Structures are given as structure tokens and as C-alpha cells.
């Protein structure tokens, strides 16, 4: 085997320009294929992959008949009265769910009373205590607040906010200021693994919530509603006021701002969804007697998987580039076959000499396969390095498009190569290159010694 490897290495070094051309040709194809394949692979992942079928986004279409949702990601949030009715039904066990959570997007300035850090303009969410367990929010320090604290002056910070305000130290038990009110930090979470902000179905990959406050506290202190808030009814003209100031009017207005998530049991998924569907049907029918819910589809129950697949289908340009990468890689394989045929033509006499000295066809094939494996190994290693550089360039372009306001760690996850994906891709490329190289290798082993050695 040592002699075979030595002869293969000598053959690899022969016609160095053709060898270098083959490797450069393969590196270009591998780099582009791994770069775009990684982007598609990472964008298709979710930190909630294990809950795609058990988390359901709930919506009741309260809007007037002439207004309807534009696409699945613009399903109207719940109005306050509808969310209250759903919550009451859950608490009364009229519907069997594992958990039920509400949230809305808000914004505020976080400050420290000693002014030791620059005030932070933060976008966050008002949530109930069930939100953190339902969304598998990873805590670095502390925990979520208890069930009896949904109106308490407490806050959970994201790692980015905690790094800014407290230099990354454990801030549990310390206090921050919001709207001149003091809130105690009860936990710090790291949302960078949530590459898409799905809780408000915006699926933004630019940034994530920087803080979470209790729902009842947010409403009692009129933290503004800054997310998607349709009022496609008689209350449309009041929307600016209902967003910022008039909480009392908001509670009775036909304006949707609360996102509702239901978690069903994985062992009894369909039965609980059917029970939830029945409650929503009965509720909308009862409310229709009051002139509400005039649409033919008055309610929507959408699994996180459906929403995730919907946003994944929006990645048209990435798929175009991935298809282009496959095409380019196929062209590089054809070029590789041509280069191998050219090398074999130049060393036909050497192969004939091996045959004349007693080497059989299988030995010639083995030498050629080892030589091809050497080239493929070098090309794949360089392709992996090139892909890492390409992903970093794509990350910089993404941050530039976001005017550098996105969370760098979160965006970078979309452009970071997973080692298991890289290994599988490398093995597939190895196999493909070997298959493509079989034709010139077999052709070389069939060279008749007499045809090259005579004269």
C-alpha cells in the first residue's frame, strides 16, 4: 500500500498545471455549494424544531368584511376582549391545553438609577409567566416570574441588554428604570439561538426582544403597542391613540394586538386541536349575533410548523443561488473529468509501462483512485475554508443591509457552518467526485501496452 501511495503521489505531482487547474476548478464549485447550502440549512432550522407541531398560533378575524389577511403571516392578533374570553375558557378548563400564552410587542427605554450605563432604547415583549417555558427560553441567570406576578414590577433581560447595562454579570436582584418606575431583574436569557423572532409572527432575523415584562404590568402602565396592530373596523381612526395612550379604550376596541399561543400535548395533539377548534367555532358564532366575525373564515389555528414552512418558502433568492451552485458544481465535475482525461493522455506511456511490468488493471485503478482522493481531499479542505470566508462575507453584507442595527450574534448564526452539516456535505462531495472520476480512471486502465510501447 505504501508503494501504491508513493506512485499515486508521483502521478498527482505530474502535469502540475493540470492538477492545480483541477483543484481550483473543484474548490470554486465546492465553495459556492457549501456557502449557499449552509445558508439554506441554517435558515430552515429553528430553536423550536421539537415543538413545531405542538405550538399553535390562534387568531380570530374580527375585521370588517372588506378587510382580510394578506397572507398567513398577517393573521390578525386577538383583541383584548377575545383574548380575555379565551383565557377564561382555559382557566375554567373548557378547553384542554398544555399551556396558553399571550404577548404583544412594546418598546421602552431601560436606564439605571445611578446612570452608570447609557440608557438603552429597547424593543421587548409583554408576556405572561407561561411564555418562557412554552418557548423554551434559555436562562443564563435567574428564572421567570411566578404565576402570581403577572402584574409585578419585574423584568427579564436578554443577554445583549444585560451586557450593555451590567457588563454581562449576574444582574438578578438588581434594578432597572422604565418610565421612571423601578423594576427588579429576575432573570437573564440568551435569545441568540432563536434566529427568527417568531413569537409575534414577524419572523424577523434582524433582532430579538431585549427584555420581557409582565403582561398585566405593561397594560396597567400603558407600555405602547408597537407591533402589528390592525383595527380594520370603525376603530381604525383611533389606532394611533390606542397604540400609545388610551389603554381603557383599547380594552373595548376592535383592535388586535395580542398574539396567542397554545401548546397542545404531543400525546393527544389532534384531540386537543379539535376541542380548541370547536370552542373557537362556538365563540365566533355566538359573537356573530352581535355583528362581529363576518368573514367566512372567522378563526385560524396555525401550527408553528406551518408558519415556519411559510417563511421558509419566501427564501426564493437563496434557492435560486443554491440551484445555481448545484449547476456550477455539475460543470466543475464535467471539467474534472476532462482534466483527468487530459492527464491520462499525457501519461499513457507510463501506464503502459506499468502494465508491461506486470501491473493488472485493478492496480492501475487503485493508483488512479488514490490520486483522485488526494486531489478531492485538498479541494474539499480548501472549499471548506473558502465557504467559511464566503459565509463571513455574506454575514457582513446582511449586517450592511440592516444598517448594522441587527443583533450580530443572531445574524451570524444564519451564516455559520454547522460541523455535522459540513461533514455530511464533504462526504457527499467525496462520493460525487469519485463517481465522476470513474470514467477517466477505467479508461486509463484499459490502455493496451503494445499501443504505447511499440517503436
233-253 pLDDT tens trace: 888 888 888 888 888 888 888
220 and 207 within one domain: yes
Residues 435 and 352 in one domain: yes
Range of the domain at 364: 2-46+315-453
Among 313, 347, 374, which residue terminates a domain?
Answer: 313
Residue 151 resides in a domain: no
Domain boundary among 280, 313, 346: 313
Say if residue 377 is in the same domain as residue 242.
no
| 256 and 404 inside one domain | no
Q: Are residues 258 and 386 in the same domain?
A: no
Query: Do 341 and 385 fall into the same domain?
Result: yes
Identify the three-state secondary structure at position 140: strand
pLDDT tens by residue, 357-414: 555 566 666 777 777 788 888 888 999 999 999 889 888 887 777 666 666 777 777 7
User: What is the number of other CB atoms lying within 10 angstroms of the CB of residue 18?
Assistant: 15
Residue 7 φ then ψ, to 5°? -65, -40
Please report the pLDDT score of residue 351 as a whole number.
59
In a domain, residue 110? The reply is yes
Q: Residue 157: inside a domain, yes or no?
A: no
Asked if residue 297 and residue 201 are part of one domain, the reply reads yes
Q: Is residue 200 helix, strand or coil?
A: coil
User: How many domains does the chain fold into?
Assistant: 2
- Domain end among 313, 332, 366: 313
For 48-57, 207-216, 250-259, which range has the lowest pLDDT when averaged over its residues? 48-57
pTM for this structure? 0.74
Whether 422 is covered by a domain: the verdict is: yes
Residue 214 pLDDT: 95
Sign of the Cα torsion 214, 219, 223, 224 reads: positive
Average pLDDT of the chain to the nearest whole number: 82
One domain for residues 29 and 91: no
Q: Are residues 47 and 193 in contact, defined by beta-carbon separation less than 8 angstroms?
A: yes
Is residue 167 assigned to a domain? no
CA–CA separation, 29 vs 38, rounded Å? 14
Residues 6+ apart with CB under 8 A from 96: 265, 268, 271, 272, 275
**CB of 202 closer than 8 Å to CB of 228:** yes
The answer to whether residue 419 scores a pLDDT higher than 90 is: no
And the C-alpha cell for 121? 432604547
Q: Band of the pLDDT at 267, cuts 50, 70, 90?
A: confident
In the prediction, which pLDDT does 182 show?
Answer: 93
Give the pLDDT of residue 331: 87
Strands, E assignment, 68-227: 99-111, 120-127, 139-142, 154-158, 175-178, 181-189, 211-214
Cα separation, 112 vs 108, in Å, equals: 13
Q: Identify whether residues 90 and 222 lie together within a single domain.
A: yes
What is the pLDDT at residue 448?
58
The reply to whether 25 and 118 lie within a common domain is no
**Does a structural domain hold residue 354?**
yes
C-alpha cell of 362?
Answer: 485493478
Q: What does the pLDDT look like over 318-357, one tens digit per residue?
A: 667 778 888 888 888 888 888 777 776 656 555 555 555 5
Looking at the structure, tell me whether residues 216 and 84 fall in a common domain: yes
Q: Is the pLDDT of residue 155 over 60?
A: yes
Same structural domain, 350 and 426: yes
| Contact predicate 393/415, CB 8 Å | no
For 267-289, the three-class secondary structure string (H helix, E strand, C coil) is: CCHHHHHHHHHHHHHHHHHHHHC
Grid cell in block for residue 282? 362556538
pLDDT given at position 112: 92
Q: Residue 174 falls within a domain, yes or no?
A: no
Amino acid at each position: 500500500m505504501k508503494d501504491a501511495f508513493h506512485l499515486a503521489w508521483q502521478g498527482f505531482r505530474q502535469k502540475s498545471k493540470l492538477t492545480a487547474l483541477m483543484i481550483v476548478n473543484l474548490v470554486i464549485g465546492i465553495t459556492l455549494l457549501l456557502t449557499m447550502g449552509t445558508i439554506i440549512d441554517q435558515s430552515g432550522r429553528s430553536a423550536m424544531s421539537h415543538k413545531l407541531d405542538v405550538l399553535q398560533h390562534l387568531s380570530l378575524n374580527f375585521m370588517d368584511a372588506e378587510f382580510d389577511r394578506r397572507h398567513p403571516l398577517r393573521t390578525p392578533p386577538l383583541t383584548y376582549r377575545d383574548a380575555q374570553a379565551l383565557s377564561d375558557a382555559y382557566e375554567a378548563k373548557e378547553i384542554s391545553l398544555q399551556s396558553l400564552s399571550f404577548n404583544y410587542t412594546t418598546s421602552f427605554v431601560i436606564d439605571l438609577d445611578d446612570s452608570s450605563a447609557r440608557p438603552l432604547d429597547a424593543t421587548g415583549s409583554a408576556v405572561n409567566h407561561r411564555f418562557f417555558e412554552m418557548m423554551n427560553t434559555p436562562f443564563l441567570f435567574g428564572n421567570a416570574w411566578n404565576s402570581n406576578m403577572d402584574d409585578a414590577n419585574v423584568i427579564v433581560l436578554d443577554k445583549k441588554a444585560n451586557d450593555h447595562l451590567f457588563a454581562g454579570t449576574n444582574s438578578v436582584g438588581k434594578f432597572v428604570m422604565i418610565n421612571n418606575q423601578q423594576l427588579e431583574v429576575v432573570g437573564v436569557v440568551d435569545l441568540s439561538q432563536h434566529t427568527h423572532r417568531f413569537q409575534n409572527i414577524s419572523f424577523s432575523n434582524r433582532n430579538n426582544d431585549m427584555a420581557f415584562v409582565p403582561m398585566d404590568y405593561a397594560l396597567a402602565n400603558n407600555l405602547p403597542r408597537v407591533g402589528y396592530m390592525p383595527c380594520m373596523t370603525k376603530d381604525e381612526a383611533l389606532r394611533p391613540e390606542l397604540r400609545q395612550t388610551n389603554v381603557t379604550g383599547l380594552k373595548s376596541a376592535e383592535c388586535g394586538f395580542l398574539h396567542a399561543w397554545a401548546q397542545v400535548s404531543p400525546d393527544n395533539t389532534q384531540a386537543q386541536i379539535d376541542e380548541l377548534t370547536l370552542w373557537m367555532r362556538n365563540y365566533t358564532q355566538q359573537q356573530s349575533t352581535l355583528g362581529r366575525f363576518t368573514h367566512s373564515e372567522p378563526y385560524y389555528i396555525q401550527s408553528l410548523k406551518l408558519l415556519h414552512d411559510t417563511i421558509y418558502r419566501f427564501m426564493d433568492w437563496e434557492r435560486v443561488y443554491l440551484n445555481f451552485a448545484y449547476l456550477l458544481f455539475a460543470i466543475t465535475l464535467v471539467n474534472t473529468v476532462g482534466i483527468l482525461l487530459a492527464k491520462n493522455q499525457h501519461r499513457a506511456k507510463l501506464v503502459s509501462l506499468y502494465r508491461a511490468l506486470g501491473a493488472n488493471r485493478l492496480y492501475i485503478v487503485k493508483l488512479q483512485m488514490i490520486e483522485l482522493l488526494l486531489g478531492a481531499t485538498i479541494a474539499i479542505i480548501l472549499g471548506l475554508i473558502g465557504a467559511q470566508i464566503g459565509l463571513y462575507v455574506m454575514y457582513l453584507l446582511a449586517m450592511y443591509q440592516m444598517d448594522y442595527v441587527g443583533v450580530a450574534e443572531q445574524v451570524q448564526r444564519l451564516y455559520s457552518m454547522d460541523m455535522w452539516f459540513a461533514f455530511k456535505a464533504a462526504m457527499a462531495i467525496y462520493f460525487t467526485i469519485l463517481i465522476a472520476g470513474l470514467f477517466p480512471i477505467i479508461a486509463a486502465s484499459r490502455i493496451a501496452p503494445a499501443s504505447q510501447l511499440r517503436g
